[in-house]
Structure 1
């Protein structure tokens, strides 16, 4: 049995467990001739891996494997991308099997990458709780894209922030949503497809809810009461469920 919630697909493994699958792609970010955002390829690998990890961890699953599809030559681009992938996995504390493919036939002029992470989770541990009228909706971090990601390190969400949210607000959190290219509003619109919720947004929001958040630089947290903890980065109350 297969079903999808937000950007994660669940496969029924047995009576008590599911496989959880998340993927992300990245193009034109690297050091090749036709790239648009010029950064070292290890940065490309690192942040693309981060997106998938955040998707898997946000629903409560544990990563058990990763595939890295590099649409460029093995060396130097492939090796540098892999360094970023390994760095992010290591910093997150995961030593998991890696399946790798690179482009060995064609010369490429633009960096391109696809990553998939597979996780496992017990049915009763999936972090998708019933939402209710009065629940608070927070945006954690400032949406950033391209070069802004490197410039706004002190203002964006990452794996450490995600884990801090899940730990400090454990009894309060109902759902956590990493925000990517669709932006905060796009993620909430997508959530509505699965949850049929109505949201009243705060007037005069100081955060751009329509802007792309790139490699999950923002986390949406839906909670039953107001946040009580300082996470060290900007936290914006953007609305409530009605």
Structure 2
């Protein structure tokens, strides 16, 4: 597991977003549904990394009760991409005070569905590191949630590993246990897991490469 934890048989993952939305002082101006989609997407990828499928959602909404339904629609969109219904959603909204900027946090509880390892696998980066407005302007460069999910379910992707604000390079060693490099920027923030590391069995490489529409780069082992 990357940033999720396991508690009493349930996998717990969380992601949050701040200063992104429709409020006047938000740094990135996008519909609240878009903010929620990418927040859910990251938390889902953490679940899939742990071999789990979400069964319950918990939202902490700091943007005001009036945007709850917009956030909910964004969450639904993420699950719909994978052909899944959204799990039950509960949580709380800040209604005592009006925040100047948007903020939302989403926790997911999931159940383990598969257990795999990276033995005899080749490693790839799906997508490119993007953050802020670059995420909105370059959707074709983002690892697609449905393609990653289908790859895991169909078995030609063995394991995935999301990347985030620390960059792709910081996650490669955590994922592989060895030193690799790749033909992508290794230090830039990957934002809401726009780039995802994947372990693929050699016999499934061709199927994998034909199934992914985002840019794909193979990890190259660094010679000692």
TM normalised by structure 2 equals: 0.87
Q: What is aligned with 2:29?
A: 38
| Alpha carbons 1:137, 1:240 under 8 Å: kept | no
Q: What is aligned with 1:179?
A: 163
CA 1:104/1:200 → structure 2, altered by over 3 Å: closer, same or farther?
closer
| Alpha carbons 1:199, 1:240 under 8 Å: kept | yes
> Residues 36-82 of structure 1: CA distance to partner in whole angstroms, max 9, x if unpaired?
1111111111110111112112332121100111112111x333222
Deviates most, 84-93 or 66-75? 84-93
| Alpha carbons 1:137, 1:241 under 8 Å: kept | no
> Displacement of 1:233 after TM fit?
1.9
Please point out which of 184, 208, 218 is paired with 2:195.
Answer: 218
Give the RMSD, CA atoms, in angstroms. Answer: 2.2
Runs of 4+ in 1 over 3 A off after TM superposition: 189-192
| Alpha carbons 1:158, 1:216 under 8 Å: kept | no
> Displacement of 1:160 after TM fit?
1.1
| Alpha carbons 1:136, 1:240 under 8 Å: kept | no
Please point out which of 171, 181, 195 is paired with 1:201.
Answer: 181
Matches within 5 A, 1:62-211: 62-75=53-66, 77-92=67-82, 93-121=84-112, 125-127=114-116, 129=117, 131=119, 135-167=121-153, 170=155, 173-191=157-175, 197-201=177-181, 205=183, 207-211=184-188
Gaps of 5+ in 2: none
> Residues 169-226 of structure 1: CA distance to partner in whole angstroms, max 9, x if unpaired?
x25x44211222222112224446xxxx222435xx2x10211111111110123427
* Larger-gyration structure (1/2): 1
